[in-house]
Amino acid sequence: MKLGLFIENLSMAIVAIRSQMLRAVLTILIIAIGIGALVGILTAIDVMKDGITGNFTSMGANTFNIRNRGSGMRMGGGRRKTFETISWFQAERFKREFRFPAAVSISCTATWNATARHGSQKSNPNIIITGGDEYFMQTSGYELEEGRGFSQQELLSGSQVVILGYELKNRFFGEKSCVDQLISLGPVKYKVIGSMKEKGSSFGFSGDKIALLPLKNVRHQFAPADMSYVINVLAGSPEMLNPAIEEATGFFRVVRGLNVREQDNFEVTKSDSLAVMLIDNLKYVSIAATIIAIITLLGAAIGLMNIMLVSVTERIREIGIRKALGARSSSIRNQFLIEAILICQIGGIAGIFFGVLIGNILSMSFDLGLVLPWVWIIVSAVLCFIVGLLSGIIPAMKAARLDPIEALRFE
């Protein structure tokens, strides 16, 4: 099609759309709703993926931990299998001799139901007392809000100092500074040297009800003789995570004294396992959104085809005049096709705009940047073109086949 003829057909299509504005607007709205639902939901899913990934990255998405394998497992003959705990010496050896470029932390949980006191105030018996080293906060996704972390002297001597979780700090001190205050954990008083930013909760578990003590202090004050330690490892990047896991698994088997025939008596768990599962489940939402959009676009296609058929009937005399003046059947056909495609593209542009807008409103609630799902924007534009082409082909062929003499006689 020549450029001049295309421009002429385009201008005539615009005039035709304006002449039947109400029907065209209704069709455009149907298409916009379908495309808006598709782009909006998929943009929201991209935002949710970024949010989940970001949250788990802040919680140590590039980390994995090594912990004692579950004890008390039933074996054949009614016997029970108990796996050896990870001792302090095994954990310390791993940290000292692990040669992979990664940060290694040792931690232990003394209790999940401690009670903390400050003056006359008393917490619920749900405080987690955790012992950690200099890398614990880094590998566990905690950040300082005020104060400082443990000094080497405090870690070596097991000083009676504590870093408070967000919820515990707010319960006792509110907006006031907690640094240099005293709290009691059990019979022992601890000096507060800092507090952590809010980490949030997941599945009813809050990471903010924590009292972090130097690891050596927990070993002396709280830890039972059979305490099992947890080793947290932070890889330098997501690409290094799996190699780090393989290296750590092999080396920890050596630390545990396992031979090649023995199974692992410890567990290696990636911190982002839950994030992967959640993101994987979002694909079902994507499928549902696509089906909804296709059904909506199918309805829009039927509506548009009906409008175009009515338009052909209403414009039979116009078509007859154009043919009598020398217009070819192909030119008539192209005019109606362009008209149908133009309506779909206008609806598609409106739908893409509102879809991206809705998705990015959600993005603002996650404190993320602008999200533009270019793939789905392009797919939506192609879908609108296909819908317009399919909806317009039958009316366009009908218009192109009209006999000019019969068309001029039509009343």
Domain boundaries, the chain: 3-56+277-409, 63-271
Average pLDDT score, the chain = 81
Place of tokens 């615009």: 14
Choice between 275 and 319, residue whose per-residue pLDDT is larger:
319
Record the tokens describing residue 134, joined without a space: 């200099």
Decide: helix, strand or coil at residue 106.
Answer: strand
Question: Over the range 8-21, which residues count as b (16 or more CB within 10 Å of their CB) and which as e?
Answer: ebbebbeebbeebe
Percentage of the chain exceeding pLDDT 90: 26
Are the beta carbons of 331 and 402 closer than 8 angstroms?
A: no
Instruction: Show Cβ contacts of residue 121 under 8 Å, excluding neighbours closer than 6 positions.
Output: 171, 172
- Distance CA(94)–CA(73), nearest Å, equals 26
Instruction: Show Cβ contacts of residue 15 under 8 Å, excluding neighbours closer than 6 positions.
Output: none
Percentage of the chain exceeding pLDDT 70: 84
Highest mean pLDDT among 141-150, 316-325, 327-336, 356-365: 141-150
- Distance CA(7)–CA(97), nearest Å, equals 74
Does the structure show a pLDDT above 60 at 214?
yes
pLDDT, residue 78, reads 45
Confidence of residue 206 (pLDDT cuts 50, 70, 90): low
Confidence of residue 83 (pLDDT cuts 50, 70, 90): confident
Among 145, 107, 148, residue whose Cα is nearest residue 128: 107
pLDDT, residue 411, reads 54
Confidence of residue 10 (pLDDT cuts 50, 70, 90): confident
pLDDT, residue 175, reads 87
Choice between 119 and 303, residue whose per-residue pLDDT is larger:
119
* Beta-carbon count within 10 A of 108 CB: 20
Does the structure show a pLDDT above 90 at 395?
no
Does the structure show a pLDDT above 70 at 51?
no
Confidence of residue 73 (pLDDT cuts 50, 70, 90): very low
pLDDT, residue 107, reads 92
Choice between 317 and 156, residue whose per-residue pLDDT is larger:
156
Pairing of strands 266-270, 127-132: unpaired
* Beta-carbon count within 10 A of 153 CB: 9
Does the structure show a pLDDT above 80 at 181?
yes
Query: What confidence tens digit (pLDDT) does each residue in 100-155 have?
Result: 989 999 999 888 888 999 988 999 888 999 999 999 988 888 889 999 999 999 99
* Beta-carbon count within 10 A of 237 CB: 9
Are the beta carbons of 388 and 69 closer than 8 angstroms?
A: no
Output the pTM of the full model.
0.55
Choice between 139 and 183, residue whose per-residue pLDDT is larger:
183
Confidence of residue 52 (pLDDT cuts 50, 70, 90): low
